[in-house]
Amino acid sequence: MKITALETLCLSRMHEPERQWVTSRYRTIKADCAVVLVHTDAGITGIGEASAYGWPMRIAEWVEWLAPTLIGKDPTDPAITPPPNGRGRPHDTAAAGIDCALWDLRGKVTGKRVSELLSPNPADRVRLYASGGCRYDWRHNPEQLIEEALGYVEQGYTAMKFRIGSEWAWDGVTVDRFIGHIRELSQAVNGRMDLALDGNCRLTEEQALPIALELDRLGFAWFEEPIDRNNIAGNARLCAAAELPITGGEAFSCLDEFRPYIEAKAYDVLQPDAGLSGITETLRIADRAAQFGLPVYPHSWHNGLMCMAHSHLVAAHPNIKIVELCQHQGPLQWGIVKERPQVEDGHLILPDSPGLGVELVEDVAERFPHVEGHYAINVER
Ligand SMILES: [Mg+2]
């Protein structure tokens, strides 16, 4: 079997005004998606989602650039995957999309699920967490965060991650006010679901430390990217000071980029993203992390096909623990695939089909035509 062509589908969907969301100083106005297809002379096609943070049109350009290195090759040969190099997000996301599509293809060729290719006894279901809390605005609706959390409890989720809200400087939000708010959230949830906080690198170390200690007290599951990710020493100090795991790594595409954080003990949990690293490199990162006793909670934003890649990784690899599922992506998220996998008690059941286990709807490009431009606009107040 030989690869005959590569293709990239660039897809979008504008959010309705009431589904737009503000975090920090951004208003997110649309959902994007980039799907890489690897076609073969056997008529079998593999599909993989590249992180749309690599920009769909630029991903398409890179896939086109990489295609001649793959056409004519045997897709079952693991050596053909273009590795991420950490030097450019569009390149790495394109390589990641190709890698995920090749794994899907290998599953379809052998009649096995990707998780079965990766492990002799993979799990049949994986724990999800609801990734949201991007919609509460300190001026207009801070309590929305709590309503949203209770909605996830209602839906059966066992964990949720939220962000720190709209720009603090707009409304004089202080660490004390924030801590008051998360205490209220924690009381409302009342142990029915694990909670995690994502600082999105927005806090100073002086702000992050008292928050981390309060999260400890409240029994939070983790504290993600509290401060500038380039501040390795500051992250290491937070790791040493707080009991709960300090996590990060969503912007890093290869193991080399994680190395300084592992060596400096700057993260307790690593968060690579198969849409940026590919399945192959994510496994490499997870294996190495295991040697240092560091679990992996993959980063997974955007759409259902990427959720599937991460679900197979979690099902197959003992060091990869939980699947993030974005709650703000809207109908694009699962509208790209024919059948949305079942979710029971906050766990995704892996479909009993080969590869990643889902197929694109036939008219996906017509249903979700690509919309040029940035997914977010800057807001000033
Ligand atoms: Mg994050």
Question: How does DSSP assign 126-141, residue by residue?
Answer: EEEEEE------TTT-
Amino acid identity for residue 375 in this structure = Y
- Predicted pLDDT of residue 276: 98
- Predicted pLDDT of residue 229: 97
* Residues ≥6 apart with Cβ < 8 Å to 140: none
SS3 state of residue 349:
strand
**b/e map 236-248, b = 16+ CB within 10 Å:** bbbbeebebbbbb
Ligand 1: centre distance to CA 299 (Å):
7
Residue 260 parent element (H or E):
helix 255-263
> What is the DSSP pairing of strand 323-326 with strand 125-131?
parallel
Q: Going residue by residue through the chain, which has 381 residues, state the pLDDT in tens, using 9 for 90 and above.
A: 999 999 999 999 999 999 999 899 999 999 999 999 999 999 999 999 999 999 999 999 999 999 999 999 999 999 999 999 988 999 999 999 999 999 999 999 999 999 999 999 999 999 999 999 999 999 999 999 999 999 999 999 999 999 999 999 999 999 999 999 999 999 999 999 999 999 999 999 999 999 999 999 999 999 999 999 999 999 999 999 999 999 999 999 999 999 999 999 999 999 999 999 999 999 999 999 999 999 999 999 999 999 999 999 999 999 999 999 999 999 999 999 999 999 999 999 999 999 999 999 999 999 999 999 999 999 998
Ligand 1: centre distance to CA 247 (Å):
9
Ligand 1: centre distance to CA 262 (Å):
18
Ligand 1: centre distance to CA 60 (Å):
25
Closest CA to 40 of 101, 114, 115: 101
What span, in angstroms and rounded, lies between the C-alpha atoms of 286 and 292? 10
Ligand 1: centre distance to CA 225 (Å):
6
- Predicted pLDDT of residue 213: 98
Ligand 1: centre distance to CA 365 (Å):
29
Q: Tokens 């990869």 sit at which residue? A: 320
- Predicted pLDDT of residue 338: 98
Beta-strand runs (E) in 242-365: 246-248, 269-270, 323-326, 343-344, 347-349
What span, in angstroms and rounded, lies between the C-alpha atoms of 335 and 339? 9
Ligand 1: centre distance to CA 37 (Å):
27
Ligand 1: centre distance to CA 132 (Å):
10
Ligand 1: centre distance to CA 298 (Å):
10
Ligand 1: centre distance to CA 301 (Å):
9
Ligand 1: centre distance to CA 226 (Å):
9
- Predicted pLDDT of residue 87: 83
Closest CA to 148 of 161, 138, 139: 161
Beta bridge partners of 360: 337
Ligand 1: centre distance to CA 36 (Å):
24
- Predicted pLDDT of residue 42: 98
In order of start, what are the domains of the chain with their CATH numbers? 3-112+363-378 (3.30.390.10), 116-349 (3.20.20.120)
Ligand 1: centre distance to CA 200 (Å):
6
Ligand 1: centre distance to CA 32 (Å):
18
Q: Report the 3 state secondary structure along the chain.
A: CCEEEEEEEEEEEECCHHHCEEEECEEECEEEEEEEEEEECCCCEEEEEECHHHCHHHHHHHHHHHHHHCCCCCCCCHHHCCCCCCCCHHHHHHHHHHHHHHHHHHHHHHCCEHHHHHCCCCCCEEEEEEECCCCCCCCCCCCHHHHHHHHHHHHCCCEEEECCCECHHHCCCCHHHHHHHHHHHHHHHCCCCEEEEECCCCECHHHHHHHHHHHHHHCCCEEECCECCCCHHHHHHHHHHCCCCEEECCCCCCHHHHHHHHHCCCCCEECCCHHHHHHHHHHHHHHHHHHCCCCECCCCCCCHHHHHHHHHHHHHCCCECCEEEECCCCCHHHHCECCCCCEECCEEECCCCCECCCCECCCHHHHCECCCCCCEEECCC
Ligand 1: centre distance to CA 221 (Å):
14
Ligand 1: centre distance to CA 13 (Å):
22
Ligand 1: centre distance to CA 187 (Å):
24
Ligand 1: centre distance to CA 248 (Å):
7
Surrounding ion ligand 1 within 5 Å at CB are: 198, 224
DSSP letter at 380 equals: -
What span, in angstroms and rounded, lies between the C-alpha atoms of 187 and 180? 11
Ligand 1: centre distance to CA 250 (Å):
6
Ligand 1: centre distance to CA 224 (Å):
6
Ligand 1: centre distance to CA 148 (Å):
18
Q: Tokens 């997870």 sit at which residue? A: 286
Ligand 1: centre distance to CA 103 (Å):
25
Ligand 1: centre distance to CA 122 (Å):
27
Q: Tokens 């993600």 sit at which residue? A: 224
Ligand 1: centre distance to CA 178 (Å):
18
Q: Tokens 């009342």 sit at which residue? A: 190
Ligand 1: centre distance to CA 69 (Å):
33
- Predicted pLDDT of residue 256: 97
- Predicted pLDDT of residue 297: 98
Q: Quote the tokens at residue 320.
A: 């990869």
